[in-house]
Amino acid sequence: MTNTTDAARKTLEEATFKQIFKDYYVKHGFISSEQEAKAFFLAGMAAGPATPAEQERTQHVLLADDHKGMRVDYTGLFKQARGALARGMKEPALAEMLRQLQEHLTELGQRWYAGDAAAVDEILQLYCIEKDARAAIKSNASQQAPSTAAQERDAIADITAERERQKSAEGWTPEHDDEHEDRSIALAASCYLSHYISRQWLTEEPDGLRQYQSEELPDDWPMNWHEDWWKPKNPRRDLVRAAALIAAEIDRMDRAALAHKTGEQR
């Protein structure tokens, strides 16, 4: 009987692996090889379902800060787009909203694959997607709030994820950073920090987030940096970005000091 059960389980594993991992994740390039995909899948099968405590921790990670300011109902946005296409009409305002949606989805992908899980919740809030489901998760989380230490770990994790995103999505590798000996990385960080300090109050007003995001280029923005690199998002996100840039500048300083010391010893 045991052999029959094991055989059935193996058949189920193989079928599930083929349907989910081999035919999708490998095909679309999320996992590089079939062997890697199978190892990943079997490890998940062996781990079993998450415990209640693990599920609770996951829910805390999933939720970002509550979105303040203007939101866009995605159902209305798509309805307007379908109507404009059907009528063959030009809608500049609608075109701009769709452009912003494209930019938000690009940012979502970059942040998610850099390990920033809260990015998903930020976008879902902005476009009013599954509001009731989020409210239910938040209600459960509020009944047993995470400790202060857990919240601090989340902030540090977000900064680390942003630094990894800067490397992978923006090309700001250590080699790239080493070329910026003019302290421009720290200067960019100070611009985001100053923007938060002086303009955070905007996000508490109706349509304030849009104004916060559309502020002009700061006078202190590094002279040799393109103005398109100035992209304020929201107060917390900009603090995370500033912290990641400061970390990058510290790493650059440490590498420069090490290289200088090594040169002196030769």
Digit-by-digit pLDDT tens for the chain (266 residues) are: 445 556 655 555 555 444 444 444 444 444 445 555 555 445 544 544 444 444 444 444 467 777 666 677 777 777 777 777 777 777 777 777 778 888 888 888 888 777 777 788 888 888 888 887 888 877 776 665 555 555 555 788 889 889 998 888 888 899 999 999 999 999 999 999 999 998 888 888 877 888 888 888 999 999 989 998 898 988 999 999 999 999 999 999 999 998 878 776 65
pLDDT at position 239, please?
94
Please report which residue ranges of the chain form alpha helices under DSSP H. Answer: 2-16, 34-47, 52-62, 74-87, 92-113, 118-126, 131-143, 148-168, 174-177, 184-199, 208-213, 235-265
Closest alpha carbon to 130 in 59, 206, 56, 74: 74
192 contacts 249 by C-beta, under 8 angstroms? no
196 contacts 239 by C-beta, under 8 angstroms? yes
Residue 79's identity, in one-letter code, is K
CA dihedral (234, 240, 243, 248) positive or negative: negative
Could you tell me the pTM of the whole model? 0.51
If one counts every other C-beta atom within 10 angstroms of the C-beta of residue 149, the result is 8
pLDDT at position 250, please?
95
